[in-house]
Structure 1
Amino acid sequence: MVLIVQVSEADNSLPLDIHNHVFQLVEKGNQAFIESRFEEAISNYSKANSVKPLDPVVLTNRSAAYIRFGQYLKQRSASISEYRPLNGFDTSMLSELALKDADKVTNIQSSSVKSYITKACALMLLERYEAARDTILSGLQIDPFSDPLRSNLQELEKVMLPTSTSKTHGKTERFDDFDCTVCLKLLPIMPLFSPCYYILCCLFDALWNIGNKCPLCRTVIFMTPRTCAVSVTLNNIIQKNFPDEYAERKSEQDTLVHLGNESMPLFVIDVIISCQKLSLHIFEPRYRLMVRRIMEGNHRMGMVALDSATGSPVDVACEVEITECDPLPDGRFVLELESHRRCRIVKAWDQDGYRVAEVEWVTDLPPQSDQEKADLRELTTSAASFARAWLERAKEAARHGGWI
């Protein structure tokens, strides 16, 4: 639970006209927050903060807006993203911004319970549950009867309970030395060394989401899974001492990267025909993550169009292979693709914001009559003309940093 704070109309620290301006900005932000227009709310709070920096009310409300926006993105389905793509926003970034504002408020007003509530919510969104629990307990020392803090503590204990009850006796005690410093999970098979000497498991997830920068020191990194250094010794230590968790993490990674011969991630865009070559500009965070996983696997995905009548993907897709993958400094990609065989979608589901489908392959029958051959040639010529025009638009858009 996050709360917004109403700004007081009486403030003698600023000239009246400036105070009124700040008051109006905060009121506009509060109204946008209530109506779930979070980008507008954040914009108004940021304007108010530029006029009156380090104001606890402004920072608290902006932190709450970041949190609610992050929660909204975390629950946003892939089908919604296909109609209204959001470029540049992801839950981790918003959570970090919320935590930064909440820390400032806690330093300014250490006796304010609301600052502890906001900080705890930001930490929970980042899945830093132990730190969130410590923050809530610190707030309860100030106000032991705070209902919001008690509510957050109960919610947090429900999340932490499965983790605490799953621990069994008789196993090697695991320390934080074997955890990824970003996601705080056990390092999986093949722990990765970044060029700046951090050991991570989600290095490429971070690179694809924050623009080819190390998630810890922000060093610019240009690398691929095939060129990344691997700690074989650390991998052997983890496998020997924590076999159950190792097997679980290996299964998790294999499920995300190697979907099997009859399952593939889907990119929803337009009609693609077999043997077609095209370029693609990838800019959405969910598709950047999808491409990273594809490049770790078999370099293949499905491309499917939307049905204009129903608004859902059509039943038939086309398998494409990524022949070239060029990363851009800000995390976007320019891909060169070649399409192969067609497939029919049997079942589809959402995975981390993008679609994954179970497919069955379609066997095309050759034309039997001269009329069928003529119709097929005409259709192929028309499709090829459309594809060439679409390819030129895609290349032009990629050169100018946009999309089609």
Structure 2
Amino acid sequence: MFECLYCHDALRIPVTYGCGHSVCSSHGLDVCPKNCDDQQPLLANHDVTLSKVISLLEEDEPTGRPWRNDEEQEEDCERGEGSRPPSRQRRERRTSSPKFPLADELTCQICYMLLFEPVTTQCQHTFCKPCLQRSLDHSPTCPLCRTALSPIAPSHPNAHLLELIRTKFEDQYISRSSTQTPSHRLDTPLFVCQLCFPGLPTFLHFFEPRYKLMLRRALESPHPQFGMVMRANDMDYGTMLDIRSVQILDDGRSLVETFGTYRFRIMERANLDGYTVARVERIDDIALDLHTQPPLASLVQHCLSFLNHLHANSTPWVVQRLSNSYGSPPPYETALQNAAAFSFYVAMILPIDEGEKAKLLPIRSVTMRLTMCVWWIEGLRKEWWFDRGCVIS
């Protein structure tokens, strides 16, 4: 029988903690005896699914060996102590039948399929981890009893239920695992929101359920990042953002700090659970030699002159906002040495339409990008009153 983590006896009316461990409810422990990290207050006095499973196994196996594997049953048959186990085909038909009670109890009440990575909530109901996460994205309550829960699903599966499922329903569990893995070809999630450039920070607010799911999957990947594009269908270029920090609020929203690393071109795209995923091709600048690029120095100087003029003649709140978001203009030598990043910095500061700025994304020449920035600057100079002086008539 399943063993209690505390008394090491058979589990009786178990409770399960967020860490996935279970003990007998009679011990009255508020937290896991192993002092695990994932500790949340219990809101019910017993694990509903695990309790029903234990009752079923006790009825089917009065000897106390609830789920012997096929090899053990074969040995018992050879000794004349039991019957030969059913064939794989018969076993699969039996365990997948709606009349098989154990399969019923191990069914997620959200997707109505075999539990995958079963997690038990504070109110002691069990669901597939991905299903519960998506449910909490929409409402921070239990899908069954509507008890208020933490907006973050438990990270550790119910240890006893997971072991039982992998033993009794191995083939079905492997099949479910394969359906939970997105296509490896379309491996870049895309956040359709705003324009951003490499070398600059971007602060984002995640509140839509589909993008909460996207963010969670990105954080679980080896390299937490995602792509940012302005529009879903007609924008073929974007910027890859590395996730620097995430603050999850009590209501499930997330404040995310990111940093642009490189540009990309979308080669293929599809929809996954409501958000866009894509196969992308990285875009890098052509090699730049400062000594063979005489216009570069004058272009950098021209842009710096305008930015300094903008800071000197703008209202204080505008200057403060620009400085807090993107930093003050760099010194000339720094801007020249990092001309690629400086071209994107200038574009982001300029008060022009984002659709116009997005034209820089596919350009691989730093000189060409700075030339476009100078062209935009000259257009602004013709329109702004402080460049023409104050005229008294």
Band the TM-score falls in, shorter-chain normalisation: 0.3 to 0.5
Between structures 1 and 2, the one with greater helix share = 1
TM-score by length of 1: 0.47
TM-score normalised according to structure 2 size: 0.48
